[in-house]
Amino acid sequence: MPPVPASCPPSVPSAPYSSPPSPSMPSIPVSSPPIMPLVPAPVPYPSMPVPAPGPTPTPSGIKGAYWLSWLAESAPSSSIPTEYFTHIFYAFAVPDNTSFQLLVSQTDEQSMINFTATIHSQSHATKTMLSIGGDTGSPVLPSMTSCHDNRASFIKSTIDVARKCGFDGLDLDWEFPTKSENMHNLALLLKEWRHAISIESLTSSRPPLILSTAVSFSPDPLLSGTFYPEDALRNYLDFLNPMCYNYKGSWDTSATGAPALLYDKSSNISTSYGISAWKQNGIPSTKIVMGIPLFGKSWKLKDPNDHRIGAPAVGVGPGTQGEMSYDNIVTFNSENNATIVYNNETVSTYSYVGTNWIGYDDINSITKKIKYAKTQGIGGYFFWALGYDSNWTLSRAASMAWDDEI
C-alpha cells in the first residue's frame, strides 16, 4: 500500500465514539487492533448541508444480484432475465492506488456501457449499479478514505464514470474495514459522497445516483467490537447489502458446515443474528438487503457414514478450493446420484455421496429465507452472483417468493 502523502494526513477523530448496543458476541479468537475513538459523522459540517438520501427502496422491495464482468462470455448481460431483478450490480470497478480515481480502460468502459444499455433496453425499471472494490479494490480503500483530497478524487471519478456509462447508482464493496480509523473514514466518505451526488443531481437536473454499500453480515465485521458507523450508513445510504454467507469454508476443514445458514443455536455467526444485529444497531429494516449465495462449500468427510452438519472432515471436497456454483452442484448431485438433505433447523441444504459433502442453498432454503426477510420487514435481498444459478431456478424461486403475500 503506498504511503499517504504528507500533505494529506489521515483524518483524526475529534471526539470519542461509543459503540451502540449489540447482541452478545461469540467467544471466538479474533486478532484485532486496540479500539480507537472514532466519530461516525452524524453532524454535518457547518458549510455542508446534509442532503436527503436518494430514492429509498420501492414498496415492492429490492431483488438484487451482482453480475461478474469477468464472466461476460459465459454469462452475458443479455442473458439476464430482468423480470427477476430490480437492481443489478456490475462487479467490479477498482480505484488506482495513487490517484484514487477509478481505473477504467477503454475495454472496461465499453463493457460498462454495453451492460447498462443491455439491461435498460430489457427493462426500464431495473436499476444498474456500479460496484467498486471487491477483493482487488478493497486493499486500496484504507488509503483512499484516509484524507479529504483522496476521497474527493475518488468521489468525482465515481460520479463521472457512472454518468458516462449510464449507471443509475454506485455501490461500495469494502471487504472489510476492521479498524476504528477505517470506520471513521468510511463515515466521512459516505457523507461527502452523498453531498457530491446531491450537488451533481442539482446541477445536471438528473435524478440523484443511488448509493449503497456491501457490508459484513453483522455490524461488527469480525465480531471483535469494532462497529460500522451506523449513523452514516443510516443517513447517507439508500440501502446496504449484508453479505450473509461464507460462514464456513476451506479455512476450516475439520468439520462440515452450513456456509449460509439462517439459524445457528451454537453461535452468532448466522443470517438471522446478523439481520437482528443490524436492526438493533439502528439501521431501518427497509434499508437492509439480505445477501444470498448462489454457491456452496464442500468438504471431504472423515467417515462417509457420518454426514451430518458438523461431521468430522479431513479436507475440501469437489470444486475450486472447496467452492462450487449452484449450477455445478446441481450437475454434481445428478451425475453422482448424491443424497440431498434439507435441514429445517438451520434452514440450509447439503448433499453427500461417498466422502464428498456440499453445503449450499436450494429452492427450499431460499424460499424460507425470503419469507424470513419479509416477516422482518427488510428492504429486499441480493444474490452473489449471476452466472452461478442453474437455468435461473433460484432467481425465479426467490422472485416468486418475494412477490407472494405473507
In whole angstroms, give the CA distance from residue 335 to residue 204.
Answer: 56
Catalytic pick among 73, 83, 109, 175: 175
Beta strands in 309-375 (DSSP E): 313-315, 323-325, 339-343, 348-353, 356-360
Residue 154 contacts residue 101 (beta carbons within 8 Å): yes
CA separation for the pair 148, 81 (Å, rounded):
41
Give exposure, 12-34, as e/b (b: 16+ Cβ within 10 Å): ebeeebebeebeebeeeeeeeee
- Largest alpha-carbon pair distance within the chain? 68
Residue owning grid cell 451506523: 230
Cell (9 digits) for 287: 434499508
Helical pair 363-375 and 393-403, crossing angle rounded to 10 deg: 30
Distance CA 49, CA 82 (A): 37
Instruction: Single out the residue of 358, 320, 354 nearest to residue 336, CA to CA.
Output: 354
Q: What is the DSSP letter of 59?
A: T
Give the span between the Cα atoms of 300 and 23, in whole angstroms: 34
**DSSP result, 261-308:** -S--TT-S-SHHHHHHHHHHTT--GGGBEEEEESEEEEEEESSTT--S
Q: How far apart are CA 186 and CA 168, in angstroms?
A: 22
The Cα–Cα gap between 397 and 367 comes to 7
Shortest CA distance to 363 belongs to which of 392, 388, 404, 405? 392
- 175 noted as active-site residue: yes
Collapsed DSSP state (helix, strand, coil) of residue 106: helix
Catalytic machinery residues: 175
